[in-house]
Structure 1
């Protein structure tokens, strides 16, 4: 029997397919249940090992999904396989489709103002059934209570938070107790891709699980961040060896 969650270096990942996960979130919206979703890659897992406060934020999450082929491979290494990636960008698209079908409301938070406005415009064009409850760029005073109050007053069904790791998880974790309902999900740079500001890896690269390498080729400045991947793999393998020893 496969457990509902697979623990990788102390982080509990939900064992699910993308399709089933979207259905789960739709159920939460139908019941007006507040939900905190983290889409986690190896970088997030490794950060949680050295930052106890961040680890506690992850513990507040309702669900943590395997956003990254590295997580899926790590699950296979420890003998508790996950069925597939459940990435933030793909989840956002599927949730927009669900919101379009169910006439749900959404709030967009993050990115530069021009990217945000392009995201809102495209969302309205591509998903005419949604209600845009509001939006705000990613540049704001962290201690300003007006933004959480704006979102609370709007009472959206979905709140897409594109502040990047680790700020998006920190913001949701710090504010979610104020809200009565809504699916709050961190989605990294998804607005940049959705708006067309940044090109996503071609489908062929995605199918080969090389989307990370495509981003590195297009953005060589990311190389320092990519160093976490071998460290993550070594840590997973090392922990497994210790358990067997």
Structure 2
């Protein structure tokens, strides 16, 4: 579907690409793409261009891994956005980097940042802002850029978070930018992540469906639509 994925283990990706970029103070944009995001890109040419022009697109979702295997272009492993976020926070804590937290509800954003302050005391909080902002508010983007963050985590849901990063990252001198979806909700303790056994069995999507059936049903249907398209292409 015209989306190129990082074909490395999470460890390789971090050590070979991301940590050196942070050390050099490069500007990098990571997209964490699951089947739903790939399907959205299929329907939205602007969003597809944003993904294609990002520096890295990682396979966040077992559906991507299965599809790549079915098409005989296997990827080494799933790189979950939440796990990647924790690794970035650990690195930022170790090297005393600064992070900006943009997105989610106000109380969720506040709780998530307090959790980071508690668990990662060496991180400098460059600032935070909830997800209720005008996409065209350039002033907000300029204010965030003025804090000179090393890492910018945007939890505004796709495609808004990725489009926002693409639209405004040129205002920043450096930084690692990543859309993180519902990660702030987990950090804030508002949503529980699937138990480890569900993750190991690649059933995290099913756990989420059971936890939030009304929210997740449309996303699950998109997953099956994605796999159906992959099956048809494999036959061709």
Give the alignment of 1:50-129 within 5 angstroms: 50-129=43-122
1:148-192 superposed Cα distances (whole Å, 9 cap, x missing partner): 111211111100111011111111111112222100001100000
Deviation at 1:209, TM superposition (A): 0.5
Distance 1:170 1:145 in 2: 13
Residue 227 (structure 2) aligns with: 233
Q: Pick one of 1, 7, 20 that aligns with 1:15.
A: 7
Q: SS of 1:84's equivalent?
A: coil
Q: Distance in 1 between matches of 2:54 and 2:80?
A: 16
Deviation of 1:25 (Å): 1.0
Q: TM-score, normalised by structure 2?
A: 0.96
Q: CA separation in 2, counterparts of 1:50 and 1:237?
A: 19
User: Runs in 1 of length 4+ with deviation above 2 angstroms?
Assistant: none
2-side partners of 1:141 and 1:157: how far apart? 23
Specify every segment of 5 or more residues in structure 2 that has no aligned partner in the other structure, as ranges: none
Q: Distance in 2 between matches of 1:169 and 1:226?
A: 21
The RMSD of aligned alpha carbons is 1.0
In structure 2, what is the equivalent of residue 4 of structure 1? Answer: none
> Structure 1 regions of 5+ residues with no counterpart?
1-8
The whole-number CA distance in structure 2 between the counterparts of 1:186 and 1:140 is 15
Q: 1:183 aligns with which of 160, 168, 176?
A: 176
Separation in 1, partners of 2:23, 2:67: 34
- Distance, in Å, in 1 between the alignment partners of 2:218 and 2:111 is 30
Helix, strand or coil at the partner of 2:4: strand
Are 1:33 and 2:65 counterparts?
A: no
Distance in 1 (CA, whole Å) between partners of 2:145 and 2:218 is 38
